[in-house]
Chain A
């Protein structure tokens, strides 16, 4: 019986101690890890979209609560004016969700560009949505009025050959982004003013 109690006590103390250490470390590295994830996972897409921007779009960002979701918006400042926002949406691809960074020009109400962030599509097929810039380049400067559709569905986006599902996922994510943008537009314009110099 005494041995039993000792086992329980030792294991409990050990677990509590390690839990405490890890919780402390987690708290103190949280911000840094978030920054690193933004820089290396979302950073490349954001930087391509905001090419030529006069600021660091990863550092200039704000968050808006959309229902239960916390959405992060990256700000692109062009010629001293904060007119670009980029945020992430996703669409159902062949191998799971395809994450898409969508940049919108707030002033002219059009797309600046899009870029795939995370995906699990087949290499050589759907994965080309990320590796070949030609596909996402079609979205550049498109107007937000019509929903984005691939040519097979009566839209104007040429799908990647052999990867229609992925192309649809990207188009759906872009359409989704447009809806979110229209819904949150008042807040976005409000928050963007803070970046006016």
Chain B
């Protein structure tokens, strides 16, 4: 069971990458991956909340009575989410407009509560921080990968920050389906399939 510190961090990047391996946190995964920019924004916001709540939950794990632990976790997580929401409104308002309701919805994201309950409440502060960072980064990369596929096929361009960069040139006919809601399911299904194929070897 005892893993090295590096392993705690790295597991979030591949073995336990949330949307593909644990198939958790699909609501933001499906909804915001219309462009890479949204994916990065959502990923960073979630990572911040994950690291913050993991550290605090693990620091307070001996003080929190087990009967009200979920309520305590939710208070901690909600606080960090509101911090993200305010900071994003103040410094990245256009991104906030695009992500909209999905920022406050990080509170009910299974990944965040799941890590608090399954990991941070049983492990030390530093380990919990690494775990949060790893899972968060894995989530961000997963969102980016999914968003890249959808945006590239759906619009023929990639948006890293504000302005789209044309990749396929003007002769490409955009496959609009991919940036709409059903395209998210198809793309996610294909990604899951690919991950399983690669993992088999």
Q: Which residues of A contact B (CB under 8 A)?
A: 3, 6-7, 10-11, 14-15, 18, 21-22, 25-26, 29, 32-33, 36-37, 39-40
Contact = CB atoms under 8 A, between A and B. Distances in A.
Chain A facing B: main interface SS: helix
A40 B92 CA distance: 11
A44 to B, nearest CB: 12
Given A7-B65, A7-B68, A32 B91 contact: yes
A3 B65 contact: yes
Contacts of B83: 21-22, 25
B72 interface: yes
Q: How large is the interface on B (under 10, 10 to 19, 20 to 34, 35 or more residues)?
A: 20 to 34
Given A22-B82, A32-B91, 20 more contacts: A3-B67, A6-B65, A10-B63, A10-B65, A14-B72, A14-B75, A14-B76, A18-B75, A18-B79, A21-B79, A21-B83, A25-B83, A25-B87, A29-B90, A33-B86, A36-B93, A39-B93, A40-B93, A40-B94, A40-B97
Give 7 closest A-B pairs by Cβ, nearest first. Answer: A18-B79, A36-B93, A32-B90, A29-B90, A7-B68, A33-B89, A7-B65
Nearest to B91: A32
A25 B68 contact: no
Contacts of B63: 10
A10 B64 contact: yes
Contacts of A11: 68, 71-72, 75
B176 to A, nearest CB: 15
B89 A18 contact: no
B93 A7 contact: no
